[in-house]
Amino acid sequence: MSEKIRVSEIFGPTIQGEGAVIGVPTVFVRTGGCDFRCSWCDSLHAVDQEYRHTWAPMTSQSVLEAVADLSEGEPLMITLSGGNPAIQPLGELINLGQAQGYTFGMETQGSVVKDWFAKLDMLVLSPKPPSSGMETDWKMLARCVVQGAAQTVLKIVVFDDVDFSYAQEVAKRFPDLPIYLQPGNHTPPPPEDDDAEVDIEGIDDRMRWLVDRVVEKKWYSARVLPQLHVMLWGNKRGV
């Protein structure tokens, strides 16, 4: 019997709200458990051990059935997120899904590498800036890149100037990867809150500041994007 996947939630179809494939319809499979604990994590219900009892152990087949129920059998992009999906056994799910016409994107911080990264259609590496309180293992991040997903991109959350310098350092180390900058959202909801308010003005301010910084530095290969789902629905879960 293959190992079960710990699943916090499966939701959609919605649009991918962030980064390289922003706007693309997708179903999210959010796994439970993370080796990090970022100070500003917006998905603590999939990180904090306090919520472990809500993370259902599921087979790959049952995850795919749940996705197919939501998409009414139409194959689409499945986005694996978390928590850190890299700590879950996801190779079989990707094989099964791709055989049925699904494509797979994954969001991970680059702290753990698996051989099945090579099967992904889109790997989003989101190493964590200083404001998160986490450290970057540069060697591990580089191993995630060479694992060879069809497309690999970087996405860095930026709250302040120190984070901005960190993002520049990441870009310097990985000059061949497209890099997306995303303003941080300061108001993560309490995990049990299904419809939390969000500080849109603060996000707008940081977005404008981020554009100014990119232009000032003539960093013309950077791409600056807000979290579209947060602009539309705030910190609501399941969108």
Ligand X SMILES: C[S@@+](CC[C@H](N)C(=O)[O-])C[C@H]1O[C@@H](n2cnc3c(N)ncnc32)[C@H](O)[C@@H]1O
Residue indicated by tokens 């629905």: 233
Radius of gyration of the chain (CA): 17
Distance of closest approach, residue 170 Cβ to ligand 2KA, in angstroms: 18
Distance of closest approach, residue 46 Cβ to ligand 2KA, in angstroms: 8
Subset of residues 180 to 209 that bind ligand X, contact rule: CB under 6 A: 182, 184-185, 188
What distance in Å separates the CA atoms of residue 164 and residue 147, rounded to the nearest whole number?
27
What distance in Å separates the CA atoms of residue 237 and residue 239, rounded to the nearest whole number?
6
Which is nearer to ligand X, 97 or 127 (by Cβ)?
Answer: 127
Which is nearer to ligand SF4, 45 or 119 (by Cβ)?
Answer: 45
Among the listed residues 155, 206, 213, 237, the single contact to ligand X using CB under 6 A: 155
Residues 6+ apart with CB under 8 A from 204: none
Distance of closest approach, residue 132 Cβ to ligand SF4, in angstroms: 6
157 and 126 Cβ atoms separated by less than 8 Å: yes
Among the listed residues 31, 109, 131, 185, the single contact to ligand SF4 using CB under 6 A: 109
Q: Return contacts of 215-220, CB within 8 angstroms, 24+ apart.
A: 217/168, 219/168, 219/171
Q: What's at 121, amino acid-wise?
A: D
184 assigned binding-site residue: no
Residues that bind ligand 2KA (CB under 6 A): 14-18, 28, 43, 81, 107, 229, 239
Residues that bind ligand SF4 (CB under 6 A): 34, 36-38, 41, 43, 47, 82-84, 109
